Amino acid sequence: MKKILKTAVVFPFLILAFSACQQQGDISKILENEESRNQLYETIISDNEHSKQLMQAMMEDDHTLMMMKDNGELMSMMMSNKENMMGMMNSNPEMSKGMMSSMMNMAESDTSVCTHMITLMKDKPNMMGQMMDMMHNEGMMDKETMMRNREKMGIENHGDHH
């Protein structure tokens, strides 16, 4: 009886393990063949939900992020069409937030990226003003320092700050 019970428990797991191995083999075969690989890409790209899932997986994968960072041509191509990039970011706020978070992490660990980001921020006085307001409101900057910095940057000082 114990032998039959063990067989009844182990057998389904063996079938499941075999089918998982078989699926991996099938996927490898699909990817080896250029035509089937391109069909797979087209299927994912043409489906909105699958595309979002692929982009999310890519943004969460350190290897993919490093590959994109190291491939200047790919990054230039992606960023060259700003309308498409902005449309994609506006239609998918989670992806946009993920990209911003990744850029902040990159800037934190790479001084040249950080310097570039700071330069970009300096060229956007309204954003700098909002950041100083936030820092003041959260107690990270006193009012006098905030006002002095706003003046140095040519940002209009508003009388409604606390």
Convert the pLDDT of each residue in 14-59 to its tens digit: 344 444 444 556 788 888 889 988 888 888 888 888 888 888 888 7
CA distance 124 to 131: 11
Residue 158 pLDDT grade (very low, low, confident, very high; cuts 50, 70, 90) = low
98 three-class SS: helix
* Rounded Cα distance, 45 and 119, in Å: 36
* pTM (2 d.p.): 0.42
Q: How far apart are the first and last CA of the chain?
A: 79
Contact yes or no for 43/30 (Cβ under 8 A): no
pLDDT in tens, 138-149: 999 999 988 888
Return d(Cα 62, Cα 64) in angstroms, integer.
5
Question: For residue 1, what pLDDT is reported?
Answer: 46
Rounded Cα gap, residues 162 and 141, in angstroms = 11
Which pLDDT tens digit goes with each residue over 66-116? 777 777 776 677 667 677 777 777 887 887 888 788 888 888 888 888 888
So what's the pLDDT on residue 137? 93
Q: What residue ranges do the domains of the chain occupy?
A: 125-156
